[in-house]
Structure 1
Amino acid sequence: MDVDHIIGDAILSAPSDAIIAADKEGDIIFWNPGAERIFGFARAEAIGRSLDIIIPTRLRKRHWDGYRRVMEIGESRYGQGDVLAVPGTAKDGRQLSLEFTIVPLRDGSRGLIGFAAIMRDVTERFEETRALRRKVAEMTK
C-alpha cells in the first residue's frame, strides 16, 4: 500500500481548501474540488485559463509584475510557509478574502516552472473582524 499516494490523492481531492497550480505564464494547470467550491468555476472552466479569473481587476498589474519577477529570478520571498492574505473574486463576482500559502513547482534541474497555492476562504471571519473594529471605533468616539 502506497500511503503517500493515498494521502496525496485525498488532500488534492478535498473540497475544503482550494488547491490551484499555475505554470510559468500564470495559466491554471491544476484546480481541485475546493477551488470549484470557493471560486465557483468548474475544473474544466478553469484549467488552461489565466489566474486573472480569480484576481480582482484592480490588483492584476501588481500581481503580474510580482509573478513575472519571481519567474525571472527563480525565487520568491514567500513560499517558506508564510500565510498570505489577499482578496479574490468568485465567478459570480463576489469578493472573497483569502488566506493562502504558496509552493514553488520546480523541474528536475530545480528550475522554477510555476506555483501551487493552497487557499482558504476567510471572508466571513474577515467581515466579522471588520464589523467589530467599526463598533470599537464608534464606541471610542
Structure 2
Amino acid sequence: MSTSIDFNQFVGALGDGVIVCDAGGAITVWNAAATRIFGFTEADAIGKSLDIIIPERQRQRHWDGYHKTMATGETRYGSDVLRVPALHKEGKPLSIAFTVAMLYTPDGKVSAIVAIVRDETVRWSEERALKTKLAQLEAKAAAPAAQ
C-alpha cells in the first residue's frame, strides 16, 4: 500500500520543533512547535539566522561547527542528542535538546540541515534542583561522621 504524505501537514503536526536551515544558515522551515518553544512565528523566523535563538556567548562555537558540518557533510549529532542553551523571543533562557539530519543535493553536496528540537527547560530545572537537594542531603549525612 502506497501512501502519499503531505510534507507541510506532517511537519506542522509534530510536537517537536522542526527547523530547517540552508547551507548558509538561513532558516527555511519553522513549524508550529518551534513557535511554541521559541516564541518566534514562522514569519519572524523564515529567512533569518539561527542567531535569533542562540545565546550570544554560544554563537561563535555554533557557527564554527555549523560551517564545518556544511563543508564536510558530517555531523556527530545525527543520532546523539545535543543539549544546549537557547533563547526565547522574550529573552528568557531555554534548555533545548535536539538531533540533526543532513539533506543533500543529487550530486551529494549538503543543501540543508534539519534540527528536531524539544524544550527541556522544565526537566533541566527539576534535575538541577534534585541534584542540589541531593548534595545538601549528602553533606548533612556526612556531617555527623566528620565530628
Residue 5 of structure 2: aligned partner: 5
Within a 5 Å distance, the mapping from 1:62-141 to structure 2 comes to 62-79=61-78, 81-141=79-139
- CA distance, structure 2, for counterparts of residue 100 and residue 4 of structure 1: 27
Change (3 A) 1:108 1:11: same
Q: How far did 1:2 drift? A: 6.0
Task: Letter of the 1:135 partner, please give it.
Answer: K
Asked if 1:31 is matched to 2:27, the reply is no
Q: List gaps (5 residues or longer) in structure 2.
A: 140-147
Change (3 A) 1:54 1:2: farther
- CA distance, structure 2, for counterparts of residue 55 and residue 5 of structure 1: 32
> Deviation string for 1:94-113 (max 9, x for gaps)?
11111111010111112111
- CA distance, structure 2, for counterparts of residue 88 and residue 21 of structure 1: 16
Secondary structure of the 1:5 match is coil
Secondary structure of the 2:5 match is helix
- CA distance, structure 1, for counterparts of residue 77 and residue 14 of structure 2: 25
Identity %: 46
Q: How far did 1:78 drift? A: 2.3
- CA distance, structure 2, for counterparts of residue 117 and residue 20 of structure 1: 5
Q: CA RMSD, aligned part only? A: 1.6
- CA distance, structure 1, for counterparts of residue 30 and residue 81 of structure 2: 20
- CA distance, structure 1, for counterparts of residue 125 and residue 75 of structure 2: 29
- CA distance, structure 2, for counterparts of residue 30 and residue 109 of structure 1: 22
Q: How far did 1:15 drift? A: 5.7
Secondary structure of the 1:129 match is helix
Change (3 A) 1:133 1:4: farther
Q: How far did 1:9 drift? A: 4.0
Secondary structure of the 1:71 match is helix
Secondary structure of the 1:49 match is coil
Tell me which structure has the larger Cα radius of gyration: 2
TM-score, normalised by the number of residues in structure 2: 0.88
TM-score, normalised by the number of residues in structure 1: 0.91
Q: How many residues align?
A: 139
Q: Assess if the C-alpha contact under 8 Å between 2:73 and 2:102 holds in 1.
A: no
Task: Letter of the 2:62 partner, please give it.
Answer: H
